[in-house]
Amino acid sequence: MRSLLYPLLLCTIALLTSCKTDYANLPTYTGSRQLQAVIEVPAGNNLQLKYDRQAQEFVSVKHAGGDRIVEFLPYPSNYGFIPSTEVGKDGDGLPILVLAQRMETGTVTEVLPLGILQLETDGEIQPIVIAVPARPRERIISATTLATFSQAYPAAQVILKEWFVNQDKTANTKFVAWRDERFADKEIQRWMKL
């Protein structure tokens, strides 16, 4: 009996460790039409992480042969992407910043988009969805629209703009505009995979 149990246990362990979540192809919206976000970089980190679609794992971004460390202030909140979206020439998911308590890499959470921070880097427009958790008890900011965010937290809005413009010294990044939650919804629809 023991001799049969050991191979069965090894097979079970192998199956469990080989099962990986395909974060890139999770649904954009839950069954109840709530937008989802996948967290790559937790709030407060300086190490830039990215979801590798082929390996189906989170890896550190490489720069000049080493891990890319943001040589600026750490990420001001939880950074990641919206699943089942593709943006830009690399086909990465639509970027999102979730204003909430620290969430670990690989967290999938339901969010409400406040709006979009539009940047331009080397002539290419880059949208970043700014969101809060969908569940009110998880929110650290009581805004659910760009207008209420701008009115109640104008300093936070300035901090986010300045952080994204300045966090990569090698990029030529400029602020373009803040866009509201209706624009964000259209942008999410635009980049959803069919």
Give how far Cα 35 sits from Cα of 28, 41, 161, 189, Å. Answer: 6, 19, 23, 11
Please write the tens of the pLDDT for every residue from 110-137.
Answer: 999 999 999 999 889 999 999 999 999 9
Residue reference for tokens 């969430």: 103
pTM: 0.88
- d(CA 97, CA 119) in angstroms, rounded, equals 14
Q: What are phi and psi of 99, to 5 degrees?
A: -80, 100
Query: DSSP state, 188?
Result: H
Provide the sign of the torsion angle of the four alpha carbons 173, 163, 80, 116, taken in this order.
negative
State residue 140's pLDDT score: 95
What domains are there in the chain, each with its CATH number?
Answer: 22-191 (3.90.80.10)
Residue-averaged pLDDT of the chain: 90
User: What's the mean pLDDT in 163-183?
Assistant: 94
Please write the tens of the pLDDT for every residue from 18-56.
Answer: 568 999 999 999 999 999 999 999 999 999 999 999 999
